[in-house]
Amino acid sequence: MKEVRVGDIVTRRSYNGDIFFRVEGITKNEGKTTVRLRGLFMRLCADAPLDDLEKKNITEINNCRREYVKKQAESIRKVLTRQDRSRQAALLRAGKREEGLNFFELPGRVLHLEGDREYREHCLHTYLQLGVPCRVVHVPEQEQAAVVYRYLREESPDILVLTGHDGLLKEAREYRSAENYRTSRFFIEAVRRAREYESDRDKLVIIAGGCQSYYEALIEAGANFASSPERVMIHILDPVFIAEKIAFTSIYEKLSLSDILDSAMTGTRGMGGIQTRGKFRLGLPRSKY
């Protein structure tokens, strides 16, 4: 077996190599070597024995990345097409009667606390592609509750996104206990702290969680949308696409579970939530200056 080092990209033989991971750390205890893993394109963290890992070569990594980029590009294309349809609908709803009326747009503003440094850059780039006003900050999952109130005061966002990596512990059998999840308790506490800042779920929309997160507890804590109803893996950009959907949906509209199905790449198996009003507004007239 090829030597595995921190930073290498690997898969797990016991799971038929279904997910590509980056090696985050390696520990030895009583003769056993355990490797700490973080998903390359999924918001999953996991531990695995060293002998279960298969190191991937550059060709395999590039093929996986190419497939990921292809799916992402298709999702972004669909989002931009939907934005254009929504824009036209909003103009009609606003009562536009003449071409001379020059409206301007105010989509909802996003504050996103991201637990993975590399994902932070990826999410920011995607928000910019989609035209979503945002601030994306790298904050490790366990620190988000401590800083979320301060960032909310600084930014006064319409939408708060709290993400990173998560996962059910391998031996877990009780899905209704936060102790059986790797980082859900951090997201739950961060949502609670955010609700101390703003309790109204329409004024501040919250999206939270990672792969296999404790969905029910996140919703109970105050999230509008969360992962993962069926404890499945979610895509890096699932929370971003949900945030975009809210940011570009008119304030006159409510979002339901069926509304978010087209936004999240994993659908309602990976993301769920409650009816929520959109944050998109039109203004008139557009400034000349």
pLDDT for 93 beyond 70: no
**Domain boundaries defined on the chain:** 9-56, 71-283
Q: What is the pLDDT of residues 30-42, one digit of tens each?
A: 778 889 898 888 8
User: What is the β-pairing status of strands 276-277 and 110-114?
Assistant: unpaired
Nearby residues of 279 by Cβ (< 8 Å), 6 or more positions away: 107, 108, 109, 158, 159, 205, 246, 247, 249, 251
Query: Above pLDDT 70, what percent of the chain?
Result: 94
Query: What's the CA gap between 265 and 43, in Å, rounded?
Result: 13
Measured in Å, how far apart are the chain's first and last C-alpha atoms? 65
CB atoms within 10 A of CB 58: 8
The tokens describing 8, both together, are 């290498």
Quick one: which of 98, 53, 6 has its CA closest to 284?
98
Whether 132 contacts 107, CB under 8 Å: yes
Buried b vs exposed e over 176-209: b needs ≥16 C-beta within 10 Å? eebebbbbbbbbbbbbbbbbeebeebeebbbbbb
pLDDT value at position 101?
A: 65
- Better-predicted residue by pLDDT, 141 or 72: 141
What CATH number has the domain spanning 71-283? 3.40.50.280
Of 156-160, 171-175, 177-181, 261-265, the least confident: 261-265
Residue 286 has pLDDT above 90, yes or no: no
State the pLDDT at residue 1: 53
| Cα–Cα dist 184/121, whole Å | 22
Q: Identity (one letter) of the amino acid at 214?
A: Y
Residues whose CB is less than 8 angstroms from the CB of residue 73 and which lie 6 or more positions away in sequence, other chains included:
none
**Contact between 162 and 213 (Cβ < 8 Å):** no
pLDDT band of 90, cuts 50, 70, 90: low
Distance (Å, rounded) from C-alpha 118 to C-alpha 161? 16
**Sign for the pseudo-dihedral over CA of 155, 161, 164, 168:** positive
**Residue 192 reports pLDDT greater than 90:** yes
What does the pLDDT average to over 234-245? 93
Q: Note whether 9 and 40 are within 8 A (CB).
A: yes
| pLDDT tens track for 120-131 | 999 999 999 999
Q: Residue 98 — very low, low, confident or very high, per pLDDT cuts 50/70/90?
A: very low
Give the tens place of pLDDT for each residue, 201-237: 999 999 999 999 999 999 999 999 999 999 999 999 9
Band (pLDDT 50/70/90 cuts) for residue 141 is very high
Take residue 72 and report the two structure tokens written for it: 């992402």
Q: In this predicted structure, what is the pLDDT of residue 182?
A: 92
Predicted local confidence at residue 94, as pLDDT: 61
Phi, then psi, of 139 in degrees rounded to 5: -135, 115
Q: What is the spatial distance between Cα 278 and Cα 184, in angstroms, rounded to a whole number? A: 26
Alpha helices in the chain (DSSP H): 58-93, 117-130, 144-155, 184-197, 215-221, 238-247, 257-261, 267-270
